[in-house]
Structure 1
Amino acid sequence: MRVLIGGEDELAVSLAEVLMQDHDVTVLAPSSMRGSSLDRLDVEVRWGSCSSSTALQSANVDQAEFFIACTPADERNLVAAAAAKRLGAKQAICFLRRHEVQANEREAERLALSLGIDQVILPAERLAREILRIVMVPGALDVVAFEGGRVRLVRKEIPEGSHLTTGTLREIGVPQGVVLVTCRRDEELFIPKGDTRFRPGDQVTAMGDQKGINKFMTRFLGDRQRRDLRRATVVGGGVVGLTVAKGLESAGWTVKVVESNERRANEIAQQLKSMVLHGDGTDLELLAEEHIGEDPVLIAVTSRDEVNLLVSLLAKQEGVPRIITRADRMTNERLFEKVGIDVVRSAQGAAIHSVLRKISRSRDEPIAELEHGDLKVLRLPVREDFPPTPLAQMRAPVFAIVGAVSRGGNVLIPQGDTVIEAGDTLLTICTAEDEEEARNFFSNFSGASAD
């Protein structure tokens, strides 16, 4: 698939780096980016402004299946995406990064529709929604929804004393409607089997329907969200912080917001019921005075990675049990986790995942990436001449496991005796390096036993 990206900063580079693995990517960038990290990528680069019709035509925009406008200027992105669509791009995606044009995604979508643009992406709102999904599941390290929310994937560390550590997986069993798809133990990643014995500290990933996931979390991981634990401090009152605070308020949480800019603090105080503090989130005296160390959750979402990291480390030192941190540079996500931050998410990463999902709906592409791209979630259609076959007979020779089956508008969470039928769609988790072999296995499986 041919993808044309119009951008002029690190977001364009990161997007190109992800997409070039599976697509023919061209980047249209200003000459000021000559000698930048674009040079190390296996992509074609054309120099010029993405809002210029002449530059778009010279980059063969009419041959692009997707045009993505992701400069830092919202107006320029709108002009570029509308022009690209008019000049023949099959689909146009527009990033609105600064909230200069519209206040929320719904308003932005209406504006884009009027301009003929296929999709708008507000990275800050996407990041806020991602953080809220994780916060709402106690102790979760990752939460992703599929199939319109009917299937959820949750990753969590197994605590001391968990029932999961009392025997083998076969002996313990898990609730109906749940499949344990992966386990990470230190640096090792594996698919749990019947004889697997879990240990405290293992990070286990479960996929299932809402009822099954809830039962699994409460019965095996001790997660009953007590009302007195629904307290959080949000450091940073920008778009992300305000959206997160509003979402937590709506869910009945008690929230404190810390914002260093006095004018901004006064603005958001008018929009929230929560306490808004004007101050520096790295001020130890402020943290102590406001008893921030006593809150079960701290969410650091300022616009500066170094501030978020320092706030998070101070909160960890103060004994805050759960910390969620924003890192706008995707390269900082792994770094922050290595120094002990529980959950790290970036607006850049949330936006790129949105692009991947959009492209996956038009082609047979991964619908999600997990653990910084180490794992992929695939939606694999079962061919029409496929003979009914128990899933237990479809054991792939690579790291791949079916976590859910979509059939005739319904979703099944499979067990070993679940029979896979022609026309089904398999939600399959595999490692990035095994993606091609996993696709080939499930596409070419003949119905005979894989043993």
Structure 2
Amino acid sequence: MKIIIAGAGAVGTHLAKLLSREKQDIILIDDNEEKLSALGSNFDLMTVCASPSSISGLKEVGASEADLFIAVTPDESRNMTACMIASNLGAKKTVARIDNYEYLLPKNKEFFQKLGVDSLIYPEMLAAKEIVSSMRMSWIRQWWEFCGGALILIGTKMRESAEILNISLQQLGSGNNPYHIVAIKRGNETIIPRGSDVIKLHDIVYFTTTRKYIPYIRKIAGKEDYADVRNVMIMGGGRIAVRTAQYVPDYMQVKIVEQDVNRCNRLTELLDDKVMIINGDGRDLDLLTEEGLKNTEAFVALTGNSETNILACLAAKRMGVSKTVAEVENIDYIGMAESLDIGTVINKKMIAAGHIYQMMLDADVSNVKSLTFANADVAEFTVKADSKITRHHVKDLGLPKGTTIGGLIRDGVGIVVTGDTLIHAGDHVVVFCLSMMIKKIEKFFN
């Protein structure tokens, strides 16, 4: 598959590295040679110094033969222009990174497709939605809904109070449990578990279940004493913070602490009166205490500096805040954030990459998501008639090692899958696998 990525910024380089491991034909273009020189020699991809919005530049890199053209420069209008030119030259599918929510409205989809932009991606909005999902319940690290919430993924850390420690999954599953354990993150290792695996203290365990059984998961995870989130303090007033404040449920009270006075004035224009804007340094613990940090259930650090966000969350934890969320854009720091027990980590590069990755797949996939802490992906496939996945019970499918089926949605109803489940055409099936294995799973759904 020939993939051209326009823009060697944070999202573009992360995507290029990710896809180069897949043995795809990757060309990364940017008009800044310095950004490209750091990449070319270390990864199996080609770099070209050219303007992403230049017709001659796109002709030079062979946009006419591209199966997928991805424009992820920081400039929205440049991305749109690059996609239009690439599409006009003959690129089969185009994706543009944007920062205007209006473009994503369903009524505008056909308009952009006619212009040659097949898909739009807004990483900051996706990150904000993930933050709000993780804050709905203070005891979870990650929350993801499939088919409007018919099936739910919950990631939570095992403490001493968990009821399911040191018991094999085989024993846990003997009573037809209303959940499925799909992944375990232990230290630096990610496990797609088998029956003989055991849950240990400090593991991050990923469950799939239906909404009805969330209180049951909370009980067995030993998290019943965690306070519900009512008050939220956000450090940093950037675009992710604005979207987060707009998406939080009405029952949550939000305060944003922003150092730049001009940005504070802009925030008061962008957000309604129920969001309190505080001009000050979010690293100033006296200020945060004065503003009620000790009575806050969730603290979200969204400055442009990963180290600041990690340290601020650490300080908030020490002051008794039960739920902390840090934006960590430096991927090397994600492991450190976990070892310091930060809570939820948001990385918009990984979120964006998961959404773009699904466009490479031939099967009918509506969701691809990277689990931020774990080296694993989750994908939601729609089952085609006569596909391989429908021919045998799950236990006899011969799924590759490192993959598991977490559940399915049939006629709008979430079902936890067992070895004896038979999958039907039209089912939405949620598959978990170690990173970059989705391509191996895809053949079961074609």
Superposed pair shares fold, TM > 0.5: yes
Cα 1:336/1:217, change in 2 over 3 Å: same
Question: Does 1:255 find its partner at 2:258?
Answer: no
Q: Name which structure has the greater RCO, CA cutoff 8 Å, separation 6+.
A: 2
1:48 to 32, 47, 50: 50
Q: How does 1:374-385 map to 2 (within 5 A)?
A: 374-377=375-378, 379=381, 384=386
Deviations 1:165-189 (A, max 9, x none): 4965555557754211223344454
**In the alignment, residue 44 of structure 2 is paired with which amino acid?**
D
What is the SS of the residue equivalent to 2:164?
helix
In structure 2, what is the Cα distance between the partners aligned to 1:170 and 1:322? 32
Contact kept, 8 Å, 1:50 with 1:56, in 2: the verdict is yes
What is the SS of the residue equivalent to 2:265?
helix
Question: Does 1:399 find its partner at 2:398?
Answer: no
Point out the more displaced range, 257-266 or 414-423: 414-423
Per the alignment, residue 417 of structure 2 pairs with: 414
Cα 1:329/1:203, change in 2 over 3 Å: closer
Deviations 1:279-301 (A, max 9, x none): 11001210221221331211001
Contact kept, 8 Å, 1:28 with 1:50, in 2: the verdict is yes
Question: 1:258 offset after TM fit, Å?
Answer: 0.8
**In the alignment, residue 259 of structure 1 is paired with which amino acid?**
E
Deviations 1:245-288 (A, max 9, x none): 2222x341122211112222233234230222111100121022
What is the SS of the residue equivalent to 2:37?
coil
Cα 1:189/1:60, change in 2 over 3 Å: closer
Per the alignment, residue 328 of structure 2 pairs with: 327
Cα 1:168/1:46, change in 2 over 3 Å: closer
Identity of aligned residues (%): 24
Give TM-score scaled by structure 2 length: 0.85
Q: How does 1:31-430 map to 2 (within 5 A)?
A: 31-33=32-34, 34-96=36-98, 99=99, 105-106=104-105, 109=108, 112-113=112-113, 115-147=115-147, 149-165=149-165, 169=169, 177-192=178-193, 198-212=199-213, 214-223=214-223, 229-248=229-248, 250-270=249-269, 271-272=271-272, 273-360=274-361, 367-371=368-372, 374-377=375-378, 379=381, 384=386, 389-394=392-397, 398-405=401-408, 412-420=415-423, 426-430=429-433
**In the alignment, residue 59 of structure 1 is paired with which amino acid?**
V
Question: Where does structure 2 lack aligned partners over 5 or more consecutive residues?
Answer: none
Contact kept, 8 Å, 2:257 with 2:277, in 1: the verdict is yes
In structure 1, what is the Cα distance between the partners aligned to 2:209 and 2:164? 17
**In the alignment, residue 39 of structure 2 is paired with which amino acid?**
S
Contact kept, 8 Å, 1:163 with 1:220, in 2: the verdict is yes
Cα 1:374/1:366, change in 2 over 3 Å: farther
The count of residues paired between Structure 1 and Structure 2 equals 438
**In the alignment, residue 259 of structure 2 is paired with which amino acid?**
S
Question: 1:88 offset after TM fit, Å?
Answer: 0.8
Cα 1:206/1:261, change in 2 over 3 Å: same
Contact kept, 8 Å, 2:12 with 2:72, in 1: the verdict is yes
Question: 1:200 offset after TM fit, Å?
Answer: 3.8
Q: CA RMSD in A?
A: 3.5
Point out the more displaced range, 121-130 or 325-334: 325-334
Question: 1:54 offset after TM fit, Å?
Answer: 0.8
In structure 2, what is the Cα distance between the partners aligned to 1:315 and 1:124? 24
In structure 2, what is the Cα distance between the partners aligned to 1:196 and 1:14? 32
Question: 1:126 offset after TM fit, Å?
Answer: 1.2
Give TM-score scaled by structure 1 length: 0.84
**In the alignment, residue 345 of structure 1 is paired with which amino acid?**
I
Question: 1:37 offset after TM fit, Å?
Answer: 2.6
Point out the more displaced range, 296-305 or 156-165: 156-165
In structure 2, what is the Cα distance between the partners aligned to 1:229 and 1:137? 7
Question: 1:55 offset after TM fit, Å?
Answer: 0.8
In structure 2, what is the Cα distance between the partners aligned to 1:195 and 1:408? 33
In structure 2, what is the Cα distance between the partners aligned to 1:27 and 1:207? 37
**In the alignment, residue 417 of structure 2 is paired with which amino acid?**
P
